[in-house]
Amino acid sequence: MSTETLNAADLKEQMLSAYPPKLAKKRGNQMVVNRKEGASEDEVPAIGANTRTSPGIITQRGCCYAGCKGVVLGPTRDIINLVHGPVGCSFYAWLTRRNQTRPPDEESENFMNYMFSTDMQDDEIIFGGEKKLAQAIREAYEIFHPKAIGVFSTCPVGLIGDDVHAVSRKMSEELGINVFGFSCEGYKGVSQSAGHHIANNQLFKHVIGRGTEVPEGDFKVNLMGEYNIGGDAFVLEEMFERCGITLCATFSGNSTIEQFERSHLADLNLVMCHRSINYIAEMIEEKYGTPWFKVNFIGADSTAKSLRKIADYFGDEGLKARVEEVIAEEMKEVAAARELHKPHLEGKTAMLFVGGSRAHHYQDLFAEVGMKTLSAGYEFAHRDDYEGRKVLPSIKVDADSRNIEELTVKRSEDEFRPEQQVRKAELTEQGFEFSDYVGMMPEMDKDTLVIDDISEHETEMLLRKVKPDIFCAGIKEKYGVQKFGIPCKQLHSYDYGGPYAGFKGAVNFWADIDRMINASVWKHLKAPWKN
């Protein structure tokens, strides 16, 4: 039933023909056929990304607030996230992203099951909401006595001119705890992506670097852009521990504010989701000298590759041996799972339209069992996530991005660790790559179709014309896709399954994909008398 290849150029034309001409031109820039005939391996066409979604398009995208509060800050259990605005924004972000967290004991703070909102009313829209915000911060403090409170601005806050930063500063003084604000009004930027950047900035300004306690361990790393959906971070924490790698902080799955505060003391930053967290990695390197590189723990082979790179970075023979032991041990189960599922999945086709890194990472998992990705795209990524960081200098900064603050970070005089940069220079000479992200497109096949910020109309056309064996997206797309009789795997919430990271995650993922593609129900869509 599945089509092995697709006529990408033809499909693109058909998709665009439904739009008014101006819109067709704009969307056309955001759809590219990967690699032209005769192009070299790493030569990919330019794609339009991180640009506005045209009004009226049924888009997957959310807003700046969702990226800031929902994605980056949401998973930290001991910061109270207080949303300043009408009730809805906080309500919809209440426990809906499946960020799991595991406090060490009953007494440890965990506010993630609570929803905090100033529940702004019309009076506050007219006369200002700063008083109500201050009162809400005070109340939250009196009930819970948290170490920190983050204040998140929703759309009307920016418009009526409430100064969440001034209120936060004032309340910080009054209460003696860290209270900090985020100007992450929903209309900022063009997608969640702006919110990631704002979250990165504020964490860097108000939290990172406040810790002084150096965690014990010879190989100290931060794992960045891992949000512990479905328990991914738990799998990786356990894997690191077995390898003898010390995790200072995860940004931000299963995390605490204390981890963030001490994260500048790590030896290395590992970036999982490049889109949402690269800013902090860059700023920490600038100020403290800690190098970073891209890792991918989605896919068993990818996990092994990333672990080996970490061991090579530290260059310690003991660490290398332990990493090899862990890989060998884990690969037994992985090989068994691959043997079980590959015969059912090999040659099947997939499409992935999600997030800012998942649509790339999960292609590895499919490829490892012989599945082909025909078409993919991100919801809110930038050109560097598609084409690789090498295009960074050529990205034009438009008005929407210019409105998002770029922090100017200076080298810290007393805390910069030059030896880390020396190590980086040595390794770079040996061909080791730092501050790297090759992007999605160079790793995709020729003649695949890459679509940025895919619309509902384009999704439907892909499903009707190409009929992939599985489509990966989010909750809003899930049931519409399945009405075509094609299973849809949610890669935000994992359909309430997972974990999918690391070796164990790969085993879980293949089992789930095998179950979904080969479920009995797909054989019974038509009533017997209609066959």
Residue 129 and residue 235: Cα distance in Å, rounded? Answer: 43
Among 8, 49, 66, 300, the active-site one is 66
Q: Is the CB of 155 or the CB of 438 nearer to another protein?
A: 155
Nearer to another protein, 119 or 286 (CB): 119
C-beta neighbour count of 341 within 10 angstroms: 22
Contact (Cβ atoms closer than 8 angstroms) between residue 305 and residue 443: no
196 an active-site residue?
Answer: yes
Which of residues 53 and 363 has its CB atom nearest to another protein in the complex? 53
Alpha-carbon gap, residue 519 to 511, rounded angstroms = 12
Nearer of residues 75 and 86 to another protein, judged by Cβ: 86
Residue 365 one-letter amino acid: L
Does the annotation count 97 as an active-site position? yes
How does strand 349-353 pair with strand 449-451? unpaired
| Nearest-approach distance from CB 104 to another protein, in angstroms | 20
- Least spacing, CB of residue 287 vs another protein, in Å: 29
Six-digit token pair at 518? 């080969």
For another protein, the closer CB: 151 or 319: 151
Find out whether 106 and 114 touch, Cβ atoms under 8 Å.
Answer: no
SS3 of residue 419 by DSSP: helix
Closer residue to another protein, CB minimum distance, 215 or 485: 485
Per-residue tokens: 333 = 């189960």
Q: Which of 52, 97, 242, 308 is catalytic?
A: 97
Dihedral sign computed on CA atoms, order 103, 106, 108, 111: positive
Between residues 114 and 434, which has the closer beta carbon with respect to another protein? 114
We find the least distance from the C-beta atom of residue 229 to another protein, in angstroms, to be: 15
- Cβ proximity to another protein: between 95 and 328 the closer is 95
What are the contacts of 58-61 at 24+ separation with CB within 8 A?
A: 58/455, 58/456, 58/457, 59/453, 59/455, 59/456, 60/353, 60/354, 60/379, 60/453, 60/454, 60/473, 60/474, 60/476, 60/477, 61/190, 61/191, 61/192, 61/379, 61/380, 61/453
We find the least distance from the C-beta atom of residue 473 to another protein, in angstroms, to be 11
Q: How far is the CB of 58 from another protein (least distance, A)?
A: 5
State the Cα–Cα distance between residues 502 and 514, nearest whole angstrom: 18
Q: How does 247-280 read in b/e, with b if 16+ C-beta sit within 10 Å? A: bbbbbbbbbbbbbbbbbbbbbbbbbbbbbbbbbb
* Minimum distance from residue 26 beta carbon to another protein (Å): 11
Residue type at 40 in one-letter notation: S
Beginning with the edge strand found earlier in the chain, give each strand of the sheet holding 349-353 in spatial order: 31-33, 449-451, 372-377, 349-353, 470-473, 488-490
Min. distance of Cβ 398 from another protein in angstroms? 10
**Strands 220-226, 268-271: parallel, antiparallel or unpaired by DSSP?**
parallel
Give the Cα separation of 83 and 80 in Å (integer).
10
DSSP secondary structure, 284-331, as one string: HHHHH---EEE---SSHHHHHHHHHHHHHHHT-HHHHHHHHHHHHHHH
Nearest approach, Cβ of 290 to another protein (angstroms)? 33
Do 148 and 79 form a contact (C-beta atoms < 8 A)? yes
Catalytic residue set: 63, 66, 97, 196
